[in-house]
Amino acid sequence: MGAVVAALRPATGQLSLCDMGFLNALPNRYVTPRRAALAAGCLIASWFLYFAGWGLRAEFTHDDLMNCHRAVFYPLPRLLGDIVVWFRPSYLYRPLPELAYRLFFNLSQFNLLPFRAFLTGVMGMNLFLLYSFARRLTNSRETGILAALLGAAHINISTYYFNTGQIYDIFCYFFYFSALVYYLRIRQQGSPLNWRQTLIFCGLYALALDSKELAVSLPLAVAAWELLHAAPGWRPSAWTGYLRRDLLPLAAAALMTAAYVPGRVMAQDGIAAAPGYKVQVSLAAYLEKTGFYLGELFYAPEWFDARRTVAFALLLLAAALWTRSRALTFCWILFFGGILPMAFIYPRGLTAVWIPTAGLLIYGAYCAAQLREAALRRLGGQRWRPVTQVALFLLAGYGMIQAHTGIRIRWDSWQPEYSSIRNLRESLIRCCPTMPRRASMLFVTDPLNETYSTVFLVQLLYRDPDSRVDQLFRFERPLTPAEIASYDYIFDFVDGKLIRLDPIEYARRAARTAQTGPR
């Protein structure tokens, strides 16, 4: 056990951060630290693109229709104002990704390829940010590379690839870790943030809040890093100067959070009032949701009950404290504290907590690297360090390949939703290439499973938010023949085909049915 503890304690002056495998194993003429890191980066990028590349063929989902409808028809000045004034109540809740929806729909309409290519690029930058953050936090490039490998793909984040509605989580991750990496880069140089740097940090935080409410944990992450790495000790005089000089960005971020939560989250029309976002605060709820997300991460659904979740959390905390590892302690706080915004509402998928999950990924990567180094020291084979680093990287990669299978099954599961939306759009274009403004139409049988997606699709297709799109199933009473005849268009969906009906003829048929009764 002592060897394990020694392994997890930070090594000083023993591990070059640039020697991720390969180094010294071949002549320096052929292998340099830069080339070694580049080779590992290329392998990770290939692994990431194997999964993310599926998303380039993704099509519109029901979520996309709703999100795009709100973004396209929302007044642009108000949309931009909601982004700038990040704490005021907004109908859009998360206005920054909505702006992206609006821009790309105006660019390519229902062709999602440019949008998906853009999001794939952002996800790639998120992976680089994970590497950068892990490297800075642990002072180990090996840990950063292993963390990036662990975070490059996961079957339970496949909605990132297949549902563009995950843009909120993708954007939030980008700005959240951009702010953290920016903050750490300056603080690790031994200087506080000046006023300009504080504005940049707060601007990144505001954009993260504009992307998704999960970003409210950022002040907690900054406070944890400060307490673990920069706190001046116990002298009151030292704390006075430290609070005034070094913690201004943290205080500003805390004030931003204090304005954002009541203004945009908990307001009468805030997201907390939306279905599925009702907040229920209790220890039981926290343990239940945390266990659910741990099960998603480890492919162990329903395994993490309350007792196992507590045991897992205490085990990780005990290891961090026993080894006196500030990096592991921070990772523990990042996950078990960062998950709080999602721990008291109805559970989502793993993508909803991918930000705090970075804490567990870095925790695992750091432990693996330190255990490898401890084993090497114990065996006295320091000259084999490059080989063991390569072996650990390849072993982790092999484990990833074995664990993350079934991406095609996930892809196939989205096809019915893609095809139903695509078929309706193409059928409408065939039936009505154009449609007059403020046209009224009735769908006798809804082609999209009796959702509002039909309304969103029609109004987006013809760029007319004032068109009247009624669905027969929503009426509590039968329509009269006169009401039916008043529609400009009537559509029915029979045997997978959209049929255009004559309103007058359909009204007469409805009148005859009303007189004789249904047969």
Q: Give the mean pLDDT of 477-505.
A: 93
* pLDDT beyond 90 at 146: yes
pLDDT of res. 238: 64
Q: Give the mean pLDDT of 132-160.
A: 96
Q: Which two tokens stand for residue 423?
A: 């078929």
pLDDT class of 7 with cuts at 50, 70, 90: very low
Which of 136-140, 183-187, 451-455, 494-498 is the least confident region?
A: 494-498
* pLDDT beyond 80 at 513: no
pLDDT of res. 213: 94
Question: What is the residue whose two structure tokens read 């995950």?
Answer: 166
Instruction: Please say whether the beta carbons of 159 and 351 come within 8 A.
Output: yes
Q: How far is it, in rounded angstroms, from Cα 137 to Cα 488?
A: 63
Q: How far is it, in rounded angstroms, from Cα 147 to Cα 164?
A: 25
Q: Which two tokens stand for residue 336?
A: 């078990």
pLDDT class of 15 with cuts at 50, 70, 90: very low
* pLDDT beyond 50 at 28: no
Model's pTM, two decimal places? 0.91
Question: Which residues are within 8 A (CB) of 358 and not within 5 positions of it... i.e. 6 or more apart?
Answer: 130, 133, 134, 147, 151, 177, 334
What proportion of the chain, given as a percentage, has pLDDT over 90?
77
Q: In this predicted model, what pLDDT tens digit does every residue of 228-246 receive, in sequence order?
A: 987 776 666 666 767 777 8
Of residues 2, 1, 10, the one with CA closest to residue 370: 10
Q: How far is it, in rounded angstroms, from Cα 216 to Cα 265?
A: 11
* pLDDT beyond 60 at 20: no
pLDDT class of 379 with cuts at 50, 70, 90: confident
Q: How far is it, in rounded angstroms, from Cα 488 to Cα 468?
A: 10
- CA of 146: how far to CAs of 192, 368, 383, 393, 473, in Å? 30, 9, 21, 7, 53
pLDDT class of 22 with cuts at 50, 70, 90: very low
